[in-house]
Structure 1
Amino acid sequence: MAMRGDKPLSAVHLIRSYLLLPFVEAVEAKGRDATPMLSAYGLKSSDLVEPYFRLPFPTFLAIQQHAADLVGDPCLGLRIGAEIRSEQVGSLGLLMATSHTLREALQQFSRWGASMQEGWGLELVDTPSGADYVYRVHELGVSTRQDVEYSLANMCSLIRTRMGRAWAPTEVHLGHSNPSRARVYEGIFHAPVFFDQPVNKLVIARQDLMLHSERVSYALLPIVEAHLQLASEAATHDESLVRQVSLIVAQSMGRRPAQINDVAAKLGIPVRSLQRALAECETSFRDIMRQERRRVAENLLAQGRINSITEIAISAGYADGSVFSRAFRTWTGSAPSRSPLRKKGNG
């Protein structure tokens, strides 16, 4: 298996795209158009409302920082994390209501969060006075500040859904430098915040961890776990390198055709390493491009939403209708206009 540093290429992480929605909404709330920002990373707005659409975690981190830069707010992730509701983070956000103690809830969150294989992790580490809830990002060479602040602020918000709005950690530790806005952080966490620390974490008192809650909904747990199991299985499937490349290629359809250099850059790996890894999977970038173009074209023909063969060709990444028609004959032996997939009434 080809490697990216000391990590297999198949371990490049993907994360749920809808988690970016609050950052896009923040850009638009400032009267800015978020379309160019998304386009710069091969995305469109519709990608963010697909529940199972996933994108490379480094891209996710870069867009978070891009959004903060656009709105001129270095604390954007922090503010969004504090305001976001539990249902906006998916089934994981509901786990706080399914465990008898906060310790149990945090352990559940860590276990299921790890199963998502998205590139982040939370670990509950016992200490003499309670526990540290440590947040780690498994990526190098990209700014993680927005994600770290978003995640820890959001975790505080989730904990408060069961502990009450006045709940606060004992301390908050952040790995990046003090941005000279300490009051903003303390206003959100309601606790002392320390910067330039070895790890990012919430320090939680022992009595808080063991406090029983009367808001527990055990009946909800099987439903939440069923949803998380499905998401976990999808994440495991999506971790294949071929799947990741296919997703990135699909994002480029209808715009500038995907180039292997662009795909390698999004995955954070050298082009030659990507080519070798795909060869080990008994495929190639060209084969994946062909498969994705065929998938898009056949879907459009079957849906009957586009009348012109030329429009279908462009949407599938072909230069014009004649090139697409030749490719289609190669796949099926017939012209697209005569395909059984093509709905009647299309011109």
Structure 2
Amino acid sequence: MLEAGEVRSFTPPKVLASAANGVIDMIRRKGGSAEAVFASAAIRMSDVGCPTNELNLHQYCNLFEQAARQTGNDNFGLEFGAQFQPRELGPIGYAATSSPTLGAALRNVEAYFPAHQGESTFGFIPEGDIVWLSYQITDPRIVDRRQDAELSLGMFCNIFRTALGKNWAPLEVRFEHAKPEGDSDHSRYFNAPVQFSRRTNAFAFRRDILSTKMPEPDPYLFAIIEALLRSRRDFMGDPQDIVSVLRNQIKMYLGERTPGVGDIAAILGMSSSTLQRQLKEIGVTYNDILRSAREELALHYMKNADMPLTDVALCLGYSELSAFSRAFRNWTGMSPHRFRRIEAFKK
């Protein structure tokens, strides 16, 4: 049920056809009929010929589910993502590979992900020296999305491997879907422990690798690609996109210091006044988003019963536990101690 004032768009979300680059060849290599798979997914094979074509996201997810069934390869998406190189993603892939550092590459993917795929989240959750890259389709109408989750995390891992080498591995991988048969392949492809039935799709990495230089930075190419992505994102015009990007950038800073509007504006390549004007146009303030980012992280950290409350407060940018406790009571209507007792009782 929608909350009061919430509007759910009934326009099908889209994804750029570049995300399916090479799928026809892979279906055939696995002994399947590409014609049959595309017909089952109600997608024309010619639609994936141009990387800037738009595909219905539901049909795109179904394409890979059908490919897995038709080829008899339950890990079709996992294998597809493992071999998929960042530049094959089209504009957003080139934005990543032409960035100066891995951290910049990930920030650019996050900032322009709405231009690549709708009704989805791509962001980061910091936990001290560890950061989780999180991805999830948010459209509840798309139910069968296991193959998409596995291929997407594989694609994102390959952005890291572009900078860190083909043998780089995440610390841990998590998927929202249930544990499948043959799950040992997942650990082998990611070279990391894999868990299932988690709240989102994510993998963990060490924060200090973000400063690693990308091997082929290209400021000129990036300027061209960024203009394309920005115009596409702005054309799509969802005001929540910029809110999500800001919230995720704030979460990346919290724990080191509380970022000001100038810090975040600089990352997005704009002045503080321009950013504040854009937020005013959609009826929110920077402080609103800061509070929202803290609340999201607080609920995430509080579910880790082994994390002391003082550490939670520090990770959220509070210098004193009392300040965090007051804020948490405003968010949830209860104290942090009571919240943890209730969570423990649920278990």
TM-score clears 0.5: yes
> How far apart are 1:22 and its partner, in Å?
3.0
Structure 1 residue 119: Cα displacement: 2.7
| Larger Rg belongs to | 1
1:51 to partner: Cα distance: 3.6
1:157 and 2:167 are equivalent in the alignment: no
Amino acid corresponding to residue 19 of structure 1 in structure 2: A
Structure 1 residues 236 and 212: CA distance shift in structure 2, 3 A:
same
Provide the C-alpha distance between the structure 2 equivalents of 1:33 and 1:12, rounded to a whole number of angstroms.
Answer: 27
Q: Distance in 1 between matches of 2:71 and 2:28?
A: 9
Deviations 1:180-226 (A, max 9, x none): 43431122212111112122101011221233456433333202212
Question: CA 1:236 to 1:39, structure 2 compared with 1: closer, same or farther past 3 Å?
Answer: farther
Task: Assess, with a 3 A threshold, how the Cα gap between structure 1 residues 145 and 214 changes in structure 2: closer, same or farther.
Answer: closer
State the alpha-carbon separation in 1 of the partners of residues 165 and 172 from structure 2: 18
Pairing 1:1-347 to 2, within 5 Å after superposition: 7-141=7-141, 142-213=143-214, 215-232=216-233, 235=236
Q: What secondary structure is seen at the aligned counterpart in 2 of 1:222? A: helix
Partner of 2:192: helix, strand, or coil? coil
CA shift, 1:93, in A, is 1.1
- CA–CA separation in structure 2 for the residues paired with 1:23 and 1:215: 26
Question: Match of 1:162, as an amino acid?
Answer: A
* SS in structure 1 at match of 2:22: helix
In 1, are the aligned partners of 2:21 and 2:51 still within 8 Å (CA)? no
Please state how far the C-alpha of 1:153 moved relative to its aligned partner: 0.6
Q: 1:208 to 1:170 in 2, by over 3 A?
A: same
How far the C-alpha of 1:49 sits from its partner, in A, is 1.0
Structure 1 match to 2:336 = none
Q: Distance in 2 between matches of 1:174 and 1:186?
A: 12
2:288 corresponding residue in structure 1: none
8 Å contact from structure 1 (residues 24, 67) kept in 2: no
Structure 1 unaligned regions, length at least 5: 238-347
Q: CA separation in 2, counterparts of 1:221 and 1:161?
A: 16
SS for the counterpart of 1:8 is coil
User: Alignment partner of 1:118: what SS?
Assistant: coil
**Cα distance in 1, alignment partners of residues 41 and 192 from structure 2:** 36
- Paired with 2:214 and 2:42, the residues of 1 have a C-alpha distance of 45
Structure possessing the higher relative contact order (Cα contacts under 8 Å, 6 or more residues apart)? 1
Cα distance 1:221–1:46, how it changes in 2: closer, same or farther (>3 A)?
Answer: same
Q: Check 1:95–1:130 CA distance in 2 against 1; reply closer, same or farther (3 A cut).
A: farther
Conservation of the 8 A alpha-carbon contact between 2:86 and 2:97: no
CA contact (8 A) 1:102 1:211 kept: yes
CA contact (8 A) 1:13 1:57 kept: yes
CA RMSD of aligned residues (A): 2.7
**1:205-251 Cα deviation digits (max 9, x unpaired):** 122123345643333320221232354356559xxxxxxxxxxxxxx
Instruction: Work out whether residues 101 and 211 of structure 2, in 8 Å CA contact, stay in contact via their aligned partners in 1.
Output: yes
Q: Tell me, which stretches of 5 or more residues in structure 2 are unaligned? A: 239-347
Task: Determine the C-alpha separation between the residues in 2 that align with 1:162 and 1:34.
Answer: 33
Q: How many Å separate the matches in 1 of 2:132 and 2:16? A: 26
Question: For the residues of structure 1 that align with 2:117 and 2:178, how far apart are their CA atoms?
Answer: 28
Higher mean displacement: 208-217 or 46-55: 208-217
